[in-house]
Amino acid sequence: TLASVSPNFLLAGCLKKNRICTSDSETGGSPKWDNKAQYLLTCIGFAVGIGNVWRFPYLCQIYGGGAFLIPYLIALVFEGLPLLFLELAVGQRLRKGSVGVWKTINPVIGGVGIACLIVSFLVGVFYNTILAWVLWYFFHSFQEPLPWSTCPLNESRIDYNLECKKSTPVNYFWYRETLNITPDIEISGSVEWGMVICLASAWCIVYICFIKGIDSVGKAVYVTSTFPYLVLTIFLIRALTLPGATDGLLYLFTPDWQTLTNPRVWLDAATQIFFSLSVAFGGLISFSSYNEEKNNCERDAVLVGVINSATSIYASIPIFSILGFKATTAFNACKDENILALTNYFEFSDQNITLQNYDYWYEYLNTTYPEKFQSLSLRECDLQKLLKQSVSGTGLAFIVFTEAVISMPGSQVWAVLFFVMLFSLGLSSMFGNIEGVLAPLNELKLLPRWMPKELISAVICLISFLVALLFTLSSGNYWVEVFNGYVGSVPLLIIALFEIIGVIYFRGMKTFSDDIYIMTGRRPNIFWKACWMVISPLLLLVVFVAYVIVQAQTRPTYQAWNPDYEKFPETEEKLYPDWVFAIIILLCVVPVISIPLVALYQLLRGRFRKSSVGMELNPYDNDAFVTDTQEQKTQRA
């Protein structure tokens, strides 16, 4: 049977049938991982990023807590893991980066690798800007008291800053002290030099860790990929002891089954698991190409995928515990304010109305003196409403969490730990983005052979830093949101779809099964084949169409911080200007335009070659049909 055929025999047969084959001897000069742990830690670090901490908890918060786990796990099994397995397998088998893999399979789909290169570059540029913000907060976390705990004085030095008084010290420090944000994306503002220094520092750290490619990255991941789990565990222990932590966890794990009827829940679950695993960037293909050929890539894919999702759930526990603490603190503050108003108006003695008997007195006074009670205009104190106040991304890290830290004993320690954890998560993800740029550039032969690795890495980091100066403008936060929302969405879906098409329908399911058998000693089971051939591409297509429909229904908007807005401190929702909307379309199209262009070029080139051969052959000239000698056949074989 085929199952009993040795991998070496398959390799020989592969050569006879003129298939694409590789062996360890062919790639003896390529770099290798020192050990399996380095490879797994690098893949886990690339997959587990900042989004696991600030995006997944947000989706759980707005989509019914535990109910969101159902579509999330379904998307993991039928979309995430098959794509992850496919990328690790094809990279390990062909021993090439994202450009070399697809060009080797078929030159027609060579544009997929170029698309991965462009996406990795654009994502790396804005992603490291987030690390610059993290460094800014990290440097300020050593102050006593924390700089976002109180409002600064105004210019006259007799009162607090008006903008800060209207909002909160936390909001003021983020929007004014950190970003110095403009009220509109069309107002660029000036370069924030403090942020330029942090951005340069972030790129220098990335360069130091990546200076010798995987040789130096393999050492760095021992810290960057493991340290976040240590900090998360410390936060978990501390957060569970905070007042209100139970309320936050109950909100997380209590499912709201009604939300499953909302199609947007399934769409967001599919996109979250897809982007969380970092597939379609090309970095995972490059990382797996440095493996030994005989390696169980199936087990690696399942391990990385499960750890990534488990990390998201694990990180949600301390995050929701802290959110519960913040909501409880605000809930009690609201009650204290109402207690003071009731005590003064009805002339009660101090400590007559307390937090414990507040509900009793509230109902009693409202029933006994309804007119007087209504005239007080007391605040509505609703714990569930406070728990539902959802924020994502920068809002969770730089506003909600920093506000919660202020109320925690030893706030400086917790702030330092939190931002070191975020930086470690982001840094390990940046390794994959840089690898997704460096490997394709080498395969496209765009770099001189004499350039050493150190110089190549320096040039890539320098160019990325110069482009990222856009995000250090006062309007930079708006542009980060544009890049984050559109570069990492539609292009990745398109790339992933063509990756599956390239492997399954160009290389062929039978050949790919042989490849996996050569590497692992067994063929993929019916589940993997069904996912690759039908379920995963169909799911990707549905997600892509649904995403485009949802986005096309309304004009894109952004949230502007405008102190002159009548509802300030609420953010003002504004439509993107036409020229920004045009840039959004370009960010969605330009990264993947190489796929049809390269395919068209290869098809025209192939047709031109055929026609050229036909023109050169003369049926009346016997020299045109000279047969090969036996020696020539042997040499060609």
Q: Which helix (H) or strand (E) holds 593?
A: none
CA torsion 49-592-471-198 (nearest 10°) is 40
CA torsion 11-13-16-20 (nearest 10°) is -40
Q: E strands within 369-413?
A: none
Q: Which of 274, 277, 283 is nearest to 113 (CA)?
A: 283
Residue labelled with tokens 């006062």: 474
What is the identity of the amino acid at 12?
Answer: A
Q: Which of 62, 65, 59 is nearest to 389 (CA)?
A: 62
Alpha helices in 346-392, H assignment, sequence order: 358-368, 370-375, 383-387
Rg (the chain; Cα; Å): 29
Residues tagged in the binding site annotation for Na(+): 45, 47-48, 52, 276, 308, 425, 429
**How far apart, in whole angstroms, are the C-alpha atoms of residue 491 and residue 547?**
12
Q: DSSP code of 68?
A: G
Geometric angle at alpha carbon 464, from 460 and 466, rounded to 5°: 120
* SS3 of residue 572 by DSSP: strand
| CB half-sphere exposure, 250, CA atoms < 13 A | 10
From the number of C-beta atoms within 10 Å of its C-beta (0-12, 13-18, 19+), residue 637 rates as: exposed
116 is written with which tokens?
Answer: 């991965």
**How far apart, in whole angstroms, are the C-alpha atoms of residue 397 and residue 98?**
33
Max Cα–Cα distance, the chain, nearest Å: 118
Residue labelled with tokens 């309320």: 247
Q: Are 79 and 536 in contact (CB under 8 A)?
A: yes
Residues tagged in the binding site annotation: 45, 47-48, 52, 276, 308, 425, 429
**Contacting residues for 226 by C-beta, under 8 A, at least 6 apart:** 41
**How far apart, in whole angstroms, are the C-alpha atoms of residue 572 and residue 522?**
57
**Contacting residues for 494 by C-beta, under 8 A, at least 6 apart:** 115, 544, 592, 595
Q: How far is CA 424 from the centre of its chain?
A: 14
Residue labelled with tokens 């893999």: 101
CB neighbourhood size of 153 (10 A): 12
**How far apart, in whole angstroms, are the C-alpha atoms of residue 264 and residue 409?**
39
Geometric angle at alpha carbon 48, from 46 and 50, rounded to 5°: 105
Strand-pairing partners, residue 72, are none
443 is written with which tokens?
Answer: 């395969």
Strand-pairing partners, residue 573, are 559
Q: Which of 576, 457, 91 is nearest to 300 (CA)?
A: 91
**How far apart, in whole angstroms, are the C-alpha atoms of residue 604 and residue 601?**
5
**How far apart, in whole angstroms, are the C-alpha atoms of residue 588 and residue 341?**
54
